[in-house]
Structure 1
Amino acid sequence: MSATNHAQQIVQRLWSYCNVLRDDGLSYGDYVEQLTYLLFLKMAHEQTQEPWNRPSPVPEGYDWPSLLARDGDELETHYRHLLEELGRQPGMLGLIFHKAQNKIQDPAKLRRLIVDLIDREQWMVLGTDAKGATYEGLLEKNARDVKGGAGQYFTPRPLIQAIVDVMRPQPGETICDPACGTGGFLLAAHNSIVERYPHLDPEQRKHLKLHALRGVEIVDSVTRLCAMNLLLHGVGPGPAEADIEPPVRTGDSLNSAPSDHFDVVLTNPPFGRKSSVLVVNEEGQQEREALTVVREDFWATTSNKQLNFVQHVKSLLKIHGRAAVVVPDNVLFEGGAGETIRRKLLQECDVHTLLRLPTGIFYAQGVKANVLFFDRKPPREQPWTSQLWIYDLRTNKHFTLKTKPLQRSDLDEFVACFNPENRHQRTPTWSEENPDGRWRAFSYDELIQRDKVNLDIFWLKDKSLEDGENLGDPDEIAADIVEDLRAALEEFETILADLAPNGVVAD
């Protein structure tokens, strides 16, 4: 049986038990979080056995055998204290158990999860591929829980794979994701290096494991999922390396200028137009205040967090460092600070590629997004951007999460057109003779002359709008309408919050 098939079987077995726990009010996210704690403890114990015989990173009395030895209320009480104690430990241990709480209140169900499900599998024997695929499968199922909002932390893996395939991270490079979610970009970069360079020397392997990858995530519980995901893929410090900084931390990337700079930045920042916070005013009413990020290293001051992330990504890069960042459409056309940022980006960086993404591929509904590729360059008078190549994967393309999900093969033409071997030698597929070509270039002069330097550029005819053309599948049309309405509603809610007196929005 292949690692993938074995992983799918384990995922199905573990996931089916979640339905039992949901009757007790446990969400998918809570369930995955509890699995994270228990999987770590089980694997830490397995490492103390043959053939590894390694010391356990978990203090005695708070380990896996201590859970197996208890039942009933005693088990639930001990598990609660165990989580609190491990959250105070240093290194990856403290990171995974930071602020951990037991959400499984029924001792009998907790016992079954420990003994009948997790203890029956030898996780260390599975190998990195199966362990990683199992956990990724759980994260993806969790992302489908739209009500819980988990999807915003999960970027479609086929898209991540295509981005990494064209970015081609190298041994010895440092790779950062300042909005890392569950770690998809970091792991894809890691796996790409391992697969493309099978003969890394010991120093290169050590660097890849301990120092190459860095992630920041603003939500504590998601940082935990990311840390566990990395650990299951063999990334991060082990028990003997507790003094080394873990590869991921909890924090707000936008808070301050970075102290470290990286060769590669890969990221899909959180969607949502503006950064804001609810506060209580002097009258005791709640009001929403826009969080405007003010940083000396930014080109423009704005409360639009996507525009701020674009500026932050640029500041994270080393000179000649390269980035791929997922951005919503408004980053390409918004005026004011948006125009300033686009002008500066085209001037100071080589903005060489834009991938227009289709709708229906993200768990967050109504998202119209793109991938912007650029390299940071040293200061000079003339602009660094000479041509922006655009690939349109959106027009006349329809994907859904269930019936027609995005596959890596759907991005094959984009990867070939990108020409990662030598992106300075590219051939357009669009021409006047072939107006349906999805790949074409626009010069710097053409871009800068567009109103507000609008980079939201498209040229293909939408066949659903042409007279006499088949309008398409009714389900697809309905799904598109629903997504557009959701996106419009979010925009209206943002505008309403901005226009309401004192920022107070009535219920």
Structure 2
Amino acid sequence: MTTTSPKRITQRELESYLWGAAVLLRGLIDAGDYKQYIFPLVFLKRLSDVYDEEHAAALEVYDDEELADLPENHRFAIPDGAHWADLRKITSNIGTALKAAMRAIESANPDTLTGVFGDGEWTNKDLLPDSTLSDLIEHFSTKTLSVANLPEDELGQGYEYLIKKFADDSGHTAQEFYTNRTLVHLMTMMLKPQPGESVYDPTCGTGGMLISTVAELKRQGKEWRNLRLYGQELNYGTSAIAKMNLFLHGIADGHVAHGNTLAKPAFLDAHGRLRTFDVVLANPPYSIKTWNRAAFAKDPYGRNMWGVPPQGRADYAFFQHIAKSLDPKTGRAAVLFPHGVLFRREEVALREALVKSNLLEAVIGLGPGLFYNSPMEAVVIILRATKSAERQHKVLFINAVNEVAREQAHSFLGDQHQTKILGAYRDFTDVDGFAAVATLDQIEAKAYNLAIPLYVSGSTTSNGSTVESVDVALVSWREAATTANAAIGDVLALLRQEIAQ
């Protein structure tokens, strides 16, 4: 039996092919919802084409159709009627047929594909009429998404492209499903994931941070298949995309759970305690107000060891969850937070406990615009369960606000920016105007305020002029106010004494 040579799909062809489907949906659904429908269709097409590819390979060996269909010749099962070719034959109630096929595939692969297709409204004909679904199916039928035509890494890159495009096109910050990949790469390099380690993202979005650890090991030529990846995501549709994303990147040991990490963490050990991990990468939602503070005050997993955060800001709830999720020997974390966690007054007791825990290793301030459609600046916090001897009871502060490039309305970290920040982190020493090492005693002397300009002298703006940070000015004002209050108190005490006499 002869086989045709694969028709390799270039990255440009793939991007045009994927985005062409979005064009078919314009005007029918909100751009922010494209992902709920396009990702599952691409995934269903990929599964069908890979199944056919595996079938053809087995047929070469056995020359028998029934033997070629045996489960041991396939990574997953596709039940009768659920194959892409079956769906192309449907002319009416296409949404119903699509939904049934997706649920059948999930049921046939309970260990790997449960919930992977999400919860799109496939049967809503006002949203997705048969004509549109037929056009989408025929559009995706124009290419064969076999591994030979499109290796896993390349299809994974196509998914990343589409995720970014949806972030751009939706006009939202899209933080819940996209974090700037150049920033994620930097965070991953700082933590240096190793073969065989466990990696966790408690708010994993589409799984980009988890995949970054695989990409880093591949880049170094190290074994990546034995990484154990774990993620939890609140949004059901986004958690489904994360499952697809891991699968399409060839990651066999990937576990994505749907649910609220603060209310019901998904990964526990045999004793019902929080499972711990070697590496944690996270970009939690910023300063959410709608969370169950009362339940956290009585948290059964002991995640309130630093205290209970204010109702208006759950940042330190996620912070403590991450700290509690670190393996006590090997654990290290890189977390994106708003700058406010470094100096907000209502969190001073939590911050003091964080510093005293000796987990805090580095605080890195980032430049503006690294989040799509948002000018917000953020900070990377590095935690490490077991610091090296020379880093004990010390914290490194890096002011990287100017280490950012901008191109076509998007900001990113160029190679030179990543190299400079990573070098300062690894050297762990003072660099005038850029980095400074502070002892825990020095941090205590500043009332546990972690605002970067308090430690990195000579901070500059993008035009090179020296500035006094708003954070520094605020601290100075509060110190002056405290001194003034004390002085007024002394004067009032003297006046009372005079009156009493």
User: One fold, TM greater than 0.5?
Assistant: yes
Partner of 2:201: 177
Within 2, Cα distance between the matches of 1:87 and 1:301? 40
Partner of 2:98: 79
**CA pair 111-404 structure 1, distance change in 2 beyond 3 A:** closer
In our comparison, the structure showing a higher alpha carbon Rg is 2
Partner of 2:133: 110
Within 1, Cα distance between the matches of 2:212 and 2:436? 28
Partner of 1:223: 239
Partner of 1:160: 184
What letter is aligned with 2:345? G
Q: 444, 452, 455: which one pairs with 1:448? A: 444
User: Taking CA–CA contacts closer than 8 Å with sequence separation of 6 or more, which of the two structures ends up with the larger relative contact order?
Assistant: 1
Q: Secondary structure at the match of 2:278?
A: strand
Partner of 2:16: 12
Partner of 1:339: 348
What letter is aligned with 2:457? W
Contact map agreement 2:153 2:249 (CA 8 A) in 1: yes
| Aligned pairs for 1:370-449 within 5 A | 370-377=379-386, 385-394=392-401, 396=402, 400=406, 402-403=408-409, 405-409=411-415, 410-419=417-426, 425-430=427-432, 437-449=433-445
**CA pair 87-148 structure 1, distance change in 2 beyond 3 A:** farther
**CA pair 455-448 structure 1, distance change in 2 beyond 3 A:** farther
Within 2, Cα distance between the matches of 1:327 and 1:77? 42
Contact map agreement 1:158 1:407 (CA 8 A) in 2: yes
Within 1, Cα distance between the matches of 2:172 and 2:104? 28
Partner of 1:351: 360
CA displacement 1:86-110 (0-9 Å, x = unmatched) = 4555233222124343166232332
Partner of 1:255: 263
Contact map agreement 2:397 2:435 (CA 8 A) in 1: yes
Contact map agreement 2:199 2:279 (CA 8 A) in 1: yes
1:196 counterpart = 2:220: yes
Deviation at 1:68, TM superposition (A): 1.7
Partner of 1:21: 25
Partner of 1:268: 283
Within 2, Cα distance between the matches of 1:60 and 1:438? 62
Q: Secondary structure at the match of 1:319?
A: coil
RMSD: 3.1
Between the aligned residues of both structures, percent identity stands at 23
1:139 counterpart = 2:163: yes
| Aligned pairs for 1:318-337 within 5 A | 318-320=327-329, 321-336=331-346
The answer for unaligned runs of 5 or more in structure 1 is: 238-245, 278-288, 379-383, 420-424, 431-436, 470-507
Q: Secondary structure at the match of 1:349?
A: coil
Q: Secondary structure at the match of 1:261?
A: coil
Count of paired positions: 420
The answer for unaligned runs of 5 or more in structure 2 is: 1-6, 59-67, 269-273, 467-501
Within 1, Cα distance between the matches of 2:81 and 2:213? 37
Give TM-score, length-normalised by structure 1: 0.75
**CA pair 189-398 structure 1, distance change in 2 beyond 3 A:** closer
What letter is aligned with 1:230? L
Contact map agreement 1:361 1:400 (CA 8 A) in 2: no
1:308 counterpart = 2:332: no
Contact map agreement 1:152 1:364 (CA 8 A) in 2: no
**CA pair 137-107 structure 1, distance change in 2 beyond 3 A:** same
What letter is aligned with 1:326? L
**CA pair 465-148 structure 1, distance change in 2 beyond 3 A:** closer
Contact map agreement 1:87 1:98 (CA 8 A) in 2: no
1:459 counterpart = 2:457: yes
Within 2, Cα distance between the matches of 1:151 and 1:364? 9
Contact map agreement 1:363 1:401 (CA 8 A) in 2: no
Q: Secondary structure at the match of 1:362?
A: coil
1:51 counterpart = 2:57: yes
1:65 counterpart = 2:74: no
